[in-house]
Chain A
Amino acid sequence: GDSVTQMEGPVTLSEEAFLTINCTYTATGYPSLFWYVQYPGEGLQLLLKATKADDKGSNKGFEATYRKETTSFHLEKGSVQVSDSAVYFCALSDAGQLTFGKGTLLTVNP
């Protein structure tokens, strides 16, 4: 079945550091790929998505590129802020149902 594997956390960075959170997937079809973010005390929010190979999703300075050849969708940001501290979830969607990774806790210190 479909599955998502993402980098184990927690990840702790200083403000303005470069962020990468790795995500790889296994799927039988041609899924859409997502990054969701959960800020403290809030629900899951869509951060960005890509629906086909080589698409790049971007939002709030975050980017991820759908790489079919490596079945990956790594999340990157060039310069993180304290307000980016949250749990980040990689997910795939095949016909509507989402399959999530375990989540990666990011803490950004001033």
Chain B
Amino acid sequence: EPEVTQTPSHQVTQMGQEVILRCVPISNHLYFYWYRQILGQKVEFLVSFYNNEISEKSEIFDDQFSVERPDGSNFTLKIRSTKLEDSAMYFCASSELAGGQITGELFFGEGSRLTVL
């Protein structure tokens, strides 16, 4: 069964360092997402990406964050200068575009746990 894969599963970094989280979405999906979950809190939307550009982003997704689909396969989330409060589980997701409507059914990866010290 096709699945979304994410790497690394866990990354520990020092405050101020750059971090890149990688995702390989399901191959025929066209919409891509990043969500995050701070320990004990809600899963929060960060950004959606379609047709090689950001289609929607939340207030959390400030200038420190960027996304890229560099090679038609990977979908990356970069945090330019990490802060302690960026420590969270980051989930990548992808979805089909069916009949001009987004079905709302997202397929998630296992998540990348980021710990900022």
A residues whose Cβ falls under 8 Å from a Cβ of B: 32, 34, 36, 41-46, 49, 51, 89, 91, 93, 95-103
Asked if A41 meets B105 with Cβ closer than 8 Å, knowing A100-B42, A103-B43, the reply is no
Q: In the assembly, what is the distance between CA of A45 and CA of B109, in Å?
A: 9
Do residues A98 and B104 form an inter-chain contact, with CB atoms below 8 A? yes
Q: Does B110 contact A (CB under 8 A)?
A: yes
Q: In the assembly, what is the distance between CA of A97 and CA of B45, in Å?
A: 8
Q: What total of chain B residues lie within 8 Å of the partner, measured CB to CB? A: 24
Residues of chain B within 8 A of A41, CB atoms compared: 110
Could you give, for residues 56-98 of chain B, a 1 whenever the CB lies within 8 Å of some chain A CB and a 0 otherwise?
Answer: 1000000000000000000000000000000000010101000
Q: Does B106 contact A (CB under 8 A)?
A: yes
B16 → chain A closest CB, angstroms: 29
Do residues A32 and B43 form an inter-chain contact, with CB atoms below 8 A? no
Q: In the assembly, what is the distance between CA of A93 and CA of B102, in Å?
A: 10
